[in-house]
């Protein structure tokens, strides 16, 4: 475990991270993990982060060493897409039982690795450490090493048990595993001056394929994408790339920086979210490749493609402008890509009433200010209750956020769009931004909102009827209360036919009735459920012979 | 009489099983104002939360004690204490339900003792409902977590009936298994109320996860049975337990409050519902309402219409024991053959499943059995989607989680009406599959002399089915 904690310290010391560079030595040592608050935390663990980062390698078997929770509760739940291989979506776990915990799980792990190779024969297996085996001291590094030697396959230990920290740390630990065991272990079949690596791109909803055609057109080859739709062989030989792009996230900055150090691959941080960002990233890729020896005509060709694509995208967004006029959007994201989305939404004519800046750097915030003006509403951290209030007070017309705050918006009957990783639409590149605008339009103008916000009509009807009945009953009660005898006689005996006590008493008295059957004959009383009550009435009435006059008449 | 077998392989592939603490937390969600809390690292909660949110498409309350590596070594008292205080102060819950996980069971945290200490340290919590259930990940499964939690809720929250108190003849406790959906609970409530009975459901997921829109934003569960109502369950005249998993809770209820119980292992199918309705008529002293005579007729007719399609189908089913028993029995009674059955954990009902062998295994086992035995109908939770695509057979999603379709909370299987609709849905899947994938061709019968599929349908059978 000591090597793991040393590695974590090293990650905290990341010189490539702008945020880190601004910290004091003591602050840096503490690391960038916010202390988790018991009972107030949300978010994945380090194991989750490692799995997210590596699982998009599609031809690799991902084996989770731990009890059922770690894999059983989470497998096949990511939206990454694969162009062919499917083994990455197969859930493999040692499903540790009580016995394994008592006697150690290493043997079981080794057997599991062997079973996978026999049955599925993948080019490599990634073995993920989890909390329980880490606690009991299962040494997955040793097991993986032994298995690699015996079975002749790369078996890669990913040492990132959940309790060492949050998701973000897991991303970086996964990167370390790649750097230590995978990158540089194989050679590509051939290389070109146009080879690049994409680092930290997971091909969610296949969004990489929204950009790849443009790269293909320019003759730029993605030597390795870490890790979306990636293959083991590609990442193993990724050290031969000419340049790298760290896509839209600082999660794997350690991989980009160390590859620059070790193999001299220059990288830049870029994003394909938003039109300007896409153009900027394409330009930067071209510039870096030319710097590393690619023919300089690449830059001219790139500009041509950019000009064409931008024109197409703007033209496609144009028709939405009048529809979006006056519509206000609230943007709650991790914050990293806030400003790139802000620019695009504004271009489409939406007014931004607020954006979250929780994970944004200083520069990000400056850019947002530039875009949204000095009084930009930047939200550091907002509780669901506050978001809910903001939405119900109709301060926004649509909310764009990650899946976690989804129901806050939807339950406030407010249009909502998923712009985080679980979403089912791809929003990358030029076409992706057009798609985003389309989706916003669909959400904003769906006819359900008006229906759902309308008050329930029968609430009002019911209320009116209720007041009416209450008034009526009060009036009646007052009448009855005036005369206690009337009140007594007005009591219903037979509820089915609404026959009151007075009627029955009169009938008994005038006809000298003695049985329920007789009462039934002389009144409307049904004698079903009220049989008992009629019997009671009969019992309390003095048996009197009917008046002589009536007897005579009969 | 089925033989229950366990696999010998070291690597579970495509797990069917969901872990025990998630089942425990699920039970707590059926209480009003509840905040379930998993005592483990934050990932344990985050994975569970994602499962629930994707299944119900609802905001779901679930918190974590956020155990770090250091806390795991030193013991989790402080984490439990802080978590309880934070939740108590911020979310203002009516009850906090704590489930342990693999990590905190391995290091041996004594949470019951922690709670005692916390109550002493913080007088405001002295009488606040804090319920702990031990649910290690490395043992048992989802259904067991639910079973233990409901039993614990009964033991802790219900009050023994005072000698002078009278039982309410109309009041009935219902202890539903975790295989019932909020929609099922609503259906049961309607049925019971039609007999003039007043049911109390424990847990009542129909109150919290039925998708209703609350007036206010609440971080805890937005409905369900209140702690006070659970306390008064001893006043009921009967307890109805649904699913063998609820025997434990029903027995606990009887032991503590003296309320007698009747266990219904199944509520899907004609015969089980006949028994159920007869029982309701008996305890309520009322004749069966005309509505149920009509519904029974409709179910009978649905069985007549659907038996053409379901009869003879070879069913491969992977589900938790009670759901497995319920659905496979109903389909067996419709003429299907239960050909491959895989489950997650031990249960007394497994032996009575209408098949030769029940395997405690995973979806790889189910897929393999379905392939070699030529199954042509697959039932399991959403994770069966990959297997279904490879096997190219009709796939009905049942159980938890169901994350790739909507309406999971309202999928019905109980009552005459629920059974009727379920039969229609499965039969329609079979019909659609036949139309899409098994249209007859000029060559359908040409190769009839060759063996078609080992253990599968005979050629003639297959071809005839294609045309039917």
Q: What average pLDDT does the structure give for chain A?
A: 85
pLDDT band per the 50, 70, 90 thresholds, residue B174: very high
Instruction: Report pLDDT digits (tens) over B226-249.
Output: 999 999 999 999 999 999 999 999
- Tell me which residue in A116, A408, A413 faces B11 most closely, judged by beta carbons: A116
- Residue B408 CA to residue B403 CA, distance in Å, equals 8
- Residue B145 CA to residue B19 CA, distance in Å, equals 8
A31-45, A164-178, A535-549 — which is least confidently predicted? A535-549
**A72 CB within 8 Å of a chain B CB:** yes
In this prediction, residue A554 carries a pLDDT of 45
3-state secondary structure of B26: helix
Residue of chain B minimizing CA distance to A411: B213
Chain A residues within an 8 Å CB radius of B106: 101, 132, 135-136
A64-68, A445-449, A508-512, B322-326 — which is least confidently predicted? A508-512
**Per the CB < 8 Å rule, is A132 touching B219?**
no
A vs B: CB pairs below 8 A: 206
Instruction: Report pLDDT digits (tens) over B244-300.
Output: 999 999 999 999 999 999 999 999 999 999 999 999 999 999 999 999 999 999 999
- Residue B55 CA to residue B403 CA, distance in Å, equals 5
Chain A residues within an 8 Å CB radius of B40: 131
With beta carbons less than 8 A apart as the criterion, state whether B208 and B233 touch: no
In this prediction, residue A386 carries a pLDDT of 76
In this prediction, residue A408 carries a pLDDT of 80
**Per the CB < 8 Å rule, is A38 touching B46?**
no
A6-10, A128-132, B129-133 — which is least confidently predicted? A6-10
- Pairing type for strands B34-39 and B95-100 reads parallel
Domains and CATH numbers, chain B: 20-140 (3.40.50.1980), 168-206+219-289 (3.40.50.1980), 291-467 (3.40.50.1980)
In this prediction, residue A307 carries a pLDDT of 97
- Tell me the mean pLDDT in the region B2-21: 95
pLDDT band per the 50, 70, 90 thresholds, residue A446: very high
In this prediction, residue A456 carries a pLDDT of 87
Which residues of chain A from 427 to 446 reach within 8 Å of chain B, CB to CB?
A: none
Instruction: Report pLDDT digits (tens) over B80-93.
Output: 999 999 999 999 99
Top-confidence residue, B217 or A365: B217
pLDDT band per the 50, 70, 90 thresholds, residue A19: low
3-state secondary structure of A246: strand
**A357 CB within 8 Å of a chain B CB:** no
Residue of chain A minimizing CA distance to B41: A163
pLDDT band per the 50, 70, 90 thresholds, residue A498: confident
Burial of A517 (0-12, 13-18, 19+ CB in 10 A): exposed
Instruction: Report pLDDT digits (tens) over A56-115.
Output: 999 999 999 999 999 999 999 888 899 989 999 999 999 999 999 999 999 999 999 999
Chain A residues within an 8 Å CB radius of B51: 73-74, 77
pLDDT(A20) > 70: no
Residue of chain A minimizing CA distance to B59: A407
**Per the CB < 8 Å rule, is B42 touching A36?**
yes
Residue of chain B minimizing CA distance to A404: B59
**Per the CB < 8 Å rule, is B106 touching A86?**
no
Instruction: Report pLDDT digits (tens) over A507-543.
Output: 787 777 878 888 887 787 777 777 777 888 887 776 6
pLDDT band per the 50, 70, 90 thresholds, residue A483: low
Chain B residues within an 8 Å CB radius of A163: 41, 67-69, 71-72, 103
In this prediction, residue A113 carries a pLDDT of 98
Q: How far is B279 from chain A (nearest CA, A)?
A: 24
**Per the CB < 8 Å rule, is A38 touching B64?**
yes
Closest-CA residue to A53 (of A131, A126, A145, A119): A126
pLDDT(B204) > 50: yes
- Residue A310 CA to residue A304 CA, distance in Å, equals 10
Chain A residues within an 8 Å CB radius of B19: 67-69, 72-73
All residues at 6 or more sequence positions from A527 whose CB lies less than 8 Å from its CB, including other chains:
A494, A516, A517, A519, A520, A534
**Per the CB < 8 Å rule, is B103 touching A111?**
no
Closest-CA residue to A126 (of A59, A76, A74, A224): A59
- Tell me the mean pLDDT in the region A416-444: 85
With beta carbons less than 8 A apart as the criterion, state whether B18 and B401 touch: yes
Residue carrying the six token digits 């009536």: A550
With beta carbons less than 8 A apart as the criterion, state whether B247 and B177 touch: no
Residue of chain A minimizing CA distance to B400: A73
A12-16, A224-228, A360-364 — which is least confidently predicted? A360-364
pLDDT(A34) > 70: no
In this prediction, residue A402 carries a pLDDT of 75
Q: Write down how long chain B is.
A: 468
Residue of chain B minimizing CA distance to A113: B11
Token couple for B342: 């895989």
Q: Long-range contacts of range A388-395, CB-CB < 8 Å, 24 or more positions apart?
A: A388/A412, A388/B217, A389/B217, A390/A330, A390/A354, A391/A330, A395/A328, A395/A330, A395/A353
- Tell me which residue in A39, A91, A98 faces B13 most closely, judged by beta carbons: A91
The b-or-e profile of A110-129 (16+ CB within 10 A means b, else e) is bebbebbbeeeebbbbbbbb
**Per the CB < 8 Å rule, is B68 touching A165?**
yes
With beta carbons less than 8 A apart as the criterion, state whether B65 and B76 touch: yes
- Interface confidence, given as ipTM, is 0.93
- Tell me the mean pLDDT in the region B412-428: 98
The b-or-e profile of B435-467 (16+ CB within 10 A means b, else e) is eeebeeeeebeeeeeeeeeeebbebeebbebbe
Q: How far is B199 from chain A (nearest CA, A)?
A: 25
**Per the CB < 8 Å rule, is B136 touching A116?**
no
**Per the CB < 8 Å rule, is B43 touching A96?**
no
In this prediction, residue B455 carries a pLDDT of 47
In this prediction, residue B263 carries a pLDDT of 98
How many C-beta atoms surround the C-beta of residue B89 within 10 A?
11
Q: What average pLDDT does the structure give for chain B?
A: 94
In this prediction, residue A405 carries a pLDDT of 74
> How many Å is the maximal CA-CA distance in chain A?
132
- Tell me which residue in B18, B69, B86 faces A37 most closely, judged by beta carbons: B86
- Residue A302 CA to residue A305 CA, distance in Å, equals 5
- Tell me the mean pLDDT in the region A298-311: 97
3-state secondary structure of A69: helix
Top-confidence residue, A553 or A509: A509
- Residue B325 CA to residue B320 CA, distance in Å, equals 9
- Tell me which residue in B58, B66, B138 faces A38 most closely, judged by beta carbons: B66
Backbone phi, then psi, for A312, in 5-degree steps? -65, -45
**Per the CB < 8 Å rule, is A90 touching B90?**
no
DSSP B165-231: PPPEEEEEEEEE-TTS-HHHHHHHHHHHHHTT-EEEESS-HHHHSS----SS--SS-SSSB-HHHHH
In this prediction, residue A1 carries a pLDDT of 43
Top-confidence residue, B434 or A531: B434
**Per the CB < 8 Å rule, is B14 touching A66?**
no
pLDDT band per the 50, 70, 90 thresholds, residue B468: very low
- Tell me which residue in B53, B102, B106 faces A69 most closely, judged by beta carbons: B102
pLDDT band per the 50, 70, 90 thresholds, residue A464: confident
Instruction: Report pLDDT digits (tens) over B178-187.
Output: 999 999 999 9
Q: How far is B73 from chain A (nearest CA, A)?
A: 8
pLDDT above 90 as % of chain B = 89
**Per the CB < 8 Å rule, is A69 touching B9?**
no
Chain A residues within an 8 Å CB radius of B68: 36, 163-165
Residue of chain A minimizing CA distance to B12: A93
A331-340, B42-51, B386-395, B446-455 — which is least confidently predicted? B446-455
Chain B residues within an 8 Å CB radius of A409: none
**Per the CB < 8 Å rule, is A72 touching B51?**
no
User: Which residue of A73, A92, A165 is the best one to mutate when testing the B interface, meaning the one whose CB has the most B CBs within 10 A?
Assistant: A73
Backbone phi, then psi, for A225, in 5-degree steps? -110, 120
pLDDT above 70 as % of chain A = 85
With beta carbons less than 8 A apart as the criterion, state whether A87 and A60 touch: yes
In this prediction, residue A14 carries a pLDDT of 76
The b-or-e profile of A230-262 (16+ CB within 10 A means b, else e) is bbbbbbbbbbbbbbbbbbbbbbbbbbbbbbeee
How many C-beta atoms surround the C-beta of residue A450 within 10 A?
9
Residue carrying the six token digits 């702990």: B132
Q: How far is A145 from chain B (nearest CA, A)?
A: 18
Backbone phi, then psi, for A260, in 5-degree steps? -65, -45
Residue of chain A minimizing CA distance to B85: A39
Chain B residues within an 8 Å CB radius of A116: 11
User: Which residue of B7, B41, B105, B220 is the best one to mutate when testing the A interface, meaning the one whose CB has the most A CBs within 10 A?
Assistant: B41
Backbone phi, then psi, for B66, in 5-degree steps? 50, 60
């Amino acid at each position: 475990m000591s090597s793991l904690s040393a590695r974590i310290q090293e990650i905290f010391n990341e010189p490539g991270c702008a945020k880190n560079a601004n910290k004091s030595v003591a602050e840096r040592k503490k690391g960038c993990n916010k202390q988790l608050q018991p009972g107030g935390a949300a978010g994945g663990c380090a194991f989750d982060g490692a799995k997210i980062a590596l699982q998009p390698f599609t031809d690799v078997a991902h084996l989770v060493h731990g009890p059922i929770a770690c894999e059983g509760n989470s497998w096949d739940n990511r939206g990454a897409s694969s162009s062919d291989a499917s083994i990455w979506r197969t859930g493999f776990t040692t499903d540790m039982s009580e016995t394994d915990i008592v006697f150690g799980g290493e043997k079981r792990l080794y057997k599991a690795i062997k079973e996978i190779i026999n049955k599925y024969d993948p080019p490599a297996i990634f073995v993920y450490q989890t909390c329980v085996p880490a606690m009991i001291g299962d040494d997955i590094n040793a097991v993986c090493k032994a298995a690699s030697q015996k079975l002749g396959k790369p078996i890669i230990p990913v040492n990132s048990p959940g309790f060492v920290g949050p998701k973000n740390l897991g991303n970086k630990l996964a990167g370390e595993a790649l750097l230590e065991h995978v990158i540089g272990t194989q050679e590509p079949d051939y290389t070109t001056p146009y080879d690049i690596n994409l680092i930290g791109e997971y091909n969610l909803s296949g969004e990489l394929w929204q950009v790849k055609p443009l790269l293909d057109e320019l003759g730029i080859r993605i030597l390795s994408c870490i890790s979306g739709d990636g293959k083991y062989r590609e990442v193993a030989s990724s050290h031969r790339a000419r340049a790298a792009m760290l896509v839209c996230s600082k999660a794997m900055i350690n991989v980009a920086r160390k590859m620059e150090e070790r193999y001299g691959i220059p990288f830049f941080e870029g994003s394909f979210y938003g039109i300007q960002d896409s153009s900027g990233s394409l330009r930067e890729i071209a510039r870096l490749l030319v710097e590393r020896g690619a023919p300089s005509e690449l830059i001219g060709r790139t500009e041509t493609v950019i000009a064409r694509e931008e024109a197409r995208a703007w033209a496609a967004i144009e028709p939405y402008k009048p529809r979006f006029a006056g519509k206000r959007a609230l943007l709650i994201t991790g914050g990293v890509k806030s400003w790139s989305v802000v620019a695009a939404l504004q271009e489409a004519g939406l007014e931004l009433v607020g954006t979250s800046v929780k994970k944004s750097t200083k520069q990000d915030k400056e850019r947002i200010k530039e875009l949204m003006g000095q009084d930009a509403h930047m939200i550091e951290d907002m509780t669901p209750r506050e978001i809910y209030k903001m939405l119900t007070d109709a301060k926004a017309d649509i909310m764009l956020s990650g899946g976690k705050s989804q129901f806050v918006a939807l339950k406030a009957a407010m249009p909502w769009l998923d712009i985080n990783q679980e979403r089912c639409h791809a929003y990358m590149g030029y076409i992706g931004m057009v798609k985003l605008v389309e989706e916003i339009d669909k959400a904003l103008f769906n006819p359900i909102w008006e229906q759902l916000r309308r008050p329930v009509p029968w609430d009002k009807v019911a209320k009116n009827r209720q007041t009416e009945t209450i008034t009526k009953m009060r009036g009646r009660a007052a009448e009855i209360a005036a005369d206690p005898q009337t009140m007594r006689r007005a009591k219903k005996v037979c509820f089915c036919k609404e026959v009151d006590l007075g009627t029955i008493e009169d009938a008994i008295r005038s006809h000298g009735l003695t049985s329920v059957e007789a009462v039934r004959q002389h009144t409307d009383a049904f004698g079903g459920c009220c049989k008992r009550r009629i019997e009671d009435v009969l019992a309390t009435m003095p048996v009197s012979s009917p008046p002589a006059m009536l007897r005579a008449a009969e | 009489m089925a033989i229950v077998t366990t696999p010998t392989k070291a690597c579970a592939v495509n797990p069917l099983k969901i872990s025990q603490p998630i089942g425990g937390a699920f039970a707590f969600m059926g209480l009003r104002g509840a905040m379930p809390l998993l005592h483990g690292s934050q990932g344990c909660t985050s994975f569970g939360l994602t499962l629930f949110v994707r299944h119900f498409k609802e905001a779901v309350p679930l918190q974590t004690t956020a155990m770090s590596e250091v806390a795991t070594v030193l013991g989790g008292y402080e984490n439990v204490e802080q978590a309880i205080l934070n939740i108590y102060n911020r979310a203002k819950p009516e009850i906090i339900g704590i489930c342990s996980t693999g990590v905190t069971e391995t290091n041996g945290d004594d949470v019951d003792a922690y709670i005692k200490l916390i109550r002493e340290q913080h007088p405001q919590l002295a009488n606040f409902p804090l319920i702990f259930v031990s649910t290690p990940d490395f043992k048992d499964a989802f259904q067991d977590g639910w079973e233990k939690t409901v039993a614990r809720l009964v033991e802790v929250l219900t009050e023994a009936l005072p000698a002078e108190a009278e039982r309410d003849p109309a009041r009935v406790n219902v202890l539903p298994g975790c295989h019932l959906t909020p929609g099922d609970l609503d259906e049961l409530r309607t049925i019971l109320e039609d007999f003039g009975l007043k049911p109390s459901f424990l847990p009542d997921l129909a109150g919290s996860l039925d998708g209703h829109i609350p007036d206010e934003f609440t971080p805890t569960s937005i409905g369900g049975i209140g702690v006070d109502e659970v306390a008064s369950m001893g006043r009921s005249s009967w307890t109805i337990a649904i699913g063998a998993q609820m025997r434990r809770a029903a027995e606990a209820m009887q032991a503590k409050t003296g309320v007698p119980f009747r266990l219904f292992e199944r509520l899907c199918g004609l015969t089980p519902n006949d028994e159920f309705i007869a029982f309701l008529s008996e305890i309520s002293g009322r004749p069966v309402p005309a509505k149920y005579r009509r519904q029974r007729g409709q179910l009978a007719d649905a069985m007549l219409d659907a038996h053409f399609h379901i009869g003879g189908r070879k069913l491969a089913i992977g589900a938790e024991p009670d759901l497995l028993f319920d659905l496979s029995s109903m389909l067996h009674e419709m003429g299907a053959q239960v050909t491959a059955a895989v489950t997650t954990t031990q249960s007394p009902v497994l032996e009575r499943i209408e098949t030769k062998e029940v395997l405690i295994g995973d979806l790889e086992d189910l897929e393999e059995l379905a392939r070699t035995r030529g199954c042509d109908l697959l039932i399991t939770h959403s994770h069966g989607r990959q297997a279904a695509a490879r096997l190219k057979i009709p796939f009905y999603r049942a159980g938890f989680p169901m994350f790739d379709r909507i309406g999971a909370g309202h999928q019905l299987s109980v009552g005459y009406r629920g059974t009727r609709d379920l039969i229609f849905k499965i039969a329609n899947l079979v019909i659609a599959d036949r139309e899409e994938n098994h249209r007859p061709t000029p060559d359908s019968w040409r190769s009839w002399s060759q063996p078609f599929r080992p253990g599968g349908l005979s050629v003639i059978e297959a071809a005839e089915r294609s045309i039917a």
